[in-house]
Structure 1
Amino acid sequence: MSRPTSGRPSTAKNPPIGPPKLSGYVFTEKLGSGTYAIVYKAYRKSGSRQVVAIKCVLKSSLNKASTENLLTEIELLKKLNHENIVRLEDFLWDDQYIYLIMEYCSGGDLSNFIRSKRTIPENILKRFLQQIAKAMKYLYDFNIAHMDLKPQNILLTSEYNPTLKIADFGFSKHLFQGDELHLMRGSPLYMAPEIICKGTYDSRVDLWSIGVIIYECLFGRAPFASRTFKELENKIWDSKPVEIPYGVNITDNCRDLILRLLKRDPNERITFEEFFNHPFVDLEHCASNESLSKAINTVANAVKKDQNGEYKEAIKLYCESLGHFIPAIHFEKDEKKKEAIRAKVKEYMNRAEELKRLMKPKRPPAPANGFKRTVSEDPVEELTELCKDNEELTAAMTLVKAAETENSQEDYEQALKHYELALSTFIIFLKDEKSGPRKDLMGKLIHTWMDAAEKIKMFLDVQSLKTEDTSVKEEETVKNYFDTEKCGIQ
């Protein structure tokens, strides 16, 4: 522990309590206060004059429980090192106060941000949630439960497009598989029902709290928001499932995640592993310092497939790399580097589009001189003639001809549908068909039609893949959101 900073202890029995002062720092403004601590903005007197937040805990206000909470917070923060968790720079003490010198976050907390915005759009919320999830994954890997997740304990590094950081680890615990707690922890609005209704709980309470935070961001209020404590108590004890507000437009993945997080029974609640892998959270594609290396590795594999003529796999990998390039562009702060990445992305996506054109099914050759081919010149007409005594085969031949016409007109979805219907009939008949010209010709043409159908299917598969770099548009949307409605956080 760092040595005392204010000289020898006072010899007075009850020294007067003065405002907190810390050698080497200048306190500027009060940022907030709690039951036993006040947080100030301050800066170092020497060197770079770094701005910090100093949590000043009055020793005389501490009882046994609050002392344990403070020691837990110090112990955990000393060990934790993650971009989405508030960093503990140092801790000191004097006769009256214990000082936790913390990383300063100029954007205030998420609670103030929500109040200033009223609601948060889903695309912005997703960015926020990915950062919360990354921090929770880090804690989960160390068997740490936060136990007091709420908007007030999530800080923003700035007012514009901030990074989120989880703070206040006073209630946190090291938990292991099967561990249960019995003490009341957390804040009622964000507290999982089992804490109050059952009195026993485990780390899954953090998942409930995340669900409440998402709900409040999207809808402007917590699901148990109440005017009185009695009303809150009734809602907590009510067994009715939490519902999404009527008429609110959110994606299916977002809705699914909220409802699975806000299950009253922790055994029915989404697990941590399921949460981290949920498609709405999508940690695989969140903006991070790893995004660019993931993109480069993926596109390198795409180039190899491309060079080997494996065009379908190459297109898929080019498009998959886009899922990493876009967050890499968002993560990069240097504008020149952003533009350099975008230039490479454009190059790769142009190649993907070129490969799509190469995979486009070729039109069937037209009859010479514009005349219809005779039965002897056209195997399709020959098989039509051989099948005219069977209604099902005649109908299948009609479907094949329709498919070939649609293929030539680039109506690929209809062509595939008709090829598949016709083939299902021919394959069944071929099995029991007697040897002869019809069976031989049918066997040859089935392979031709299957090949045509497969090419169409492959083309349709790759045609739907996204090859547009939307990072500029997304950044513009984010910029407009933060510029048009200022957070109002000092």
Structure 2
Amino acid sequence: MAGPGWGPPRLDGFILTERLGSGTYATVYKAYAKVSVEGPSRGDAGQRPRAPSALQFLHERNISHLDLKPQNILLSSLEKPHLKLADFGFAQHMSPWDEKHVLRGSPLYMAPEMVCRRHYDARVDLWSVGVILYEALFGQPPFASRSFSELEEKIRSNRVIELPLRPPLSPECRDLLTRLLVRDPSHRISFQDFFAHPWVDLEHMPSGESMARATALVVQAVKKDQEGDAAAALSLYCKALDFFVPALHYEVDAQRKEMIKAKVGQYVSRAEELKAVVTSSNQALLGQGASGRDLLREMARDKPRLLAALDVASAAMAKEEEAGGEQDALDLYQQSLGELLLLLAGEPAGRRRELLHAEVQSLMARAEYLKERVKMKDSPWGTDSLDREGLSESVRSSCTLQ
């Protein structure tokens, strides 16, 4: 910190100018990042992490922020938005097993173990992430209160934190939020599980490896395509596109960027063709099993458990035809298959067993197809940049099976 009459402190990579203010723990200066005349390098492009990535960077160094809140998450710009963590006035070295009891941070975002003045460790940051996510989704934190005593009373309560019905959340988002907002830190999601969670999806962060991984998947897709395995080829093409998107984010050379976009356009076109083939073949597969399914029902009149399981499978097929019903249909398929597999194991040899085995095989194929369909539909495409580059709608529609 600079003393009276001194200039601003020095910080590698930045030019510090005027002092904006100071508090008990820190002094804030206005700063500009140094950029060479040649423009940002590829290492510069890779150092623009999202907030979870920044949190992982801190965790790997046993640093806890201890004051995570929306005001401390900065947006670099509207044109090319990047989230950055700020205000490390309370930050300190603290491993998950290090216990503290000093009150730090902002009450609305403090973990219960901190608010209630109990020992706490680095997992308090995970609770704060959950509160921030909740507020971003629903417009207010889960324990909005008029006073600290009211806040403390709400946090001490054993009532389960219920998520509003609107806006509707994806299963992955709902799962993450409920696992973050757990009062008991020993049952809260771990840092490892948080960073590996599919909704956080750090795997597809822009990096120098994005292009190589996309290319490797395309090679596999082309091979499956040549072998006539349309479903496998489509799945691989879409997985490749999941890495081409961050590759576009990472690439700073305009000419190479255009080359990647051209390649992506070709793969999108092929994915469109394969989507039609896969959809047609799966509809045919479903129709072919109709006669055997009806016969199985006739032979299962004395088996109420079998009839009930078949009814669940029928409900899954109906749900699959509804717009947006893919996940519900998949859940019903899995429920039906769980029961049918048990019944198949106890079914004696004979015609009914043959029909039951064929039905299980058909439903398993349908469930696998639907699982891929759900995964592709929810795949993160990085629409913020793709919308500007004219690819998002094509990519999204190609890899959402109808």
TM range, smaller chain:
0.5 to 0.7
Deviates more, 1:28-37 or 1:298-307: 28-37
Distance 1:179 1:284 in 2: 29
Gaps of 5+ in 2: 38-45, 285-294, 301-319, 322-332, 338-345, 390-402
Distance 1:463 1:204 in 2: 34
2:282 and 2:366 in contact (8 A); partners too: no
Give SS of 2:100's match.
coil
Give SS of 2:24's match.
coil
Distance 1:211 1:162 in 2: 21
1:241 and 1:264 in contact (8 A); partners too: no
Question: Deviations along 1:442-469, whole A, 9 cap, x unmatched?
Answer: x9xx9xx89x969985996699485999
1:40 to 21, 25, 29: 29
Q: Aligned runs of 1:152-301 on 2, under 5 Å?
A: 152-176=71-95, 178-245=97-164, 247-301=166-220
Higher relative contact order (CA 8 A, sep 6+): 1
1:322 and 1:467 in contact (8 A); partners too: no
Q: How far off is 1:226 after superposition?
A: 3.1
- Corresponding residue for residue 349 of structure 1: 268
User: Larger Rg: 1 or 2?
Assistant: 1
Distance 1:196 1:244 in 2: 22
Distance 1:251 1:331 in 2: 27
Amino acid at match of 2:56: K
Amino acid at match of 1:21: G
Say whether 1:18 aligns with 2:28.
Answer: no
1:147 and 1:172 in contact (8 A); partners too: yes
Say whether 1:83 aligns with 2:47.
Answer: yes
- Corresponding residue for residue 385 of structure 2: 475
Q: How far off is 1:163 after superposition?
A: 1.6
Cα gap change, 1:470 to 1:263, in 2 (>3 Å) = closer
What is the percent sequence identity of the aligned residues? Answer: 45
Q: TM-score, normalised by structure 2?
A: 0.63
Say whether 1:323 aligns with 2:287.
Answer: no
**What value does the CA root-mean-square deviation take over the aligned residues?**
5.1
2:97 and 2:122 in contact (8 A); partners too: no
Q: How far off is 1:333 after superposition?
A: 4.9
1:345 and 1:469 in contact (8 A); partners too: no
Cα gap change, 1:255 to 1:19, in 2 (>3 Å) = farther
Q: How far off is 1:206 after superposition?
A: 0.8
1:316 and 1:462 in contact (8 A); partners too: no
Say whether 1:133 aligns with 2:52.
Answer: yes
Cα gap change, 1:152 to 1:177, in 2 (>3 Å) = closer
Question: Deviations along 1:322-350, whole A, 9 cap, x unmatched?
Answer: 22223333444555544422321222233
Amino acid at match of 1:83: Q
Amino acid at match of 1:290: E
Distance 1:274 1:170 in 2: 27
Q: How far off is 1:22 after superposition?
A: 4.2
Number of residue pairs matched by the alignment: 331
Distance 2:143 2:186 in 1: 21
Distance 2:122 2:88 in 1: 14
Amino acid at match of 1:18: P
Gaps of 5+ in 1: 6-16, 50-81, 86-130, 365-386, 394-412, 421-427, 434-442, 480-490
Amino acid at match of 2:24: T
- Corresponding residue for residue 304 of structure 1: 223
Distance 2:31 2:269 in 1: 51
Give SS of 2:74's match.
strand
- Corresponding residue for residue 343 of structure 2: none
Q: How far off is 1:204 after superposition?
A: 0.8
Q: TM-score, normalised by structure 1?
A: 0.53
1:302 and 1:318 in contact (8 A); partners too: yes
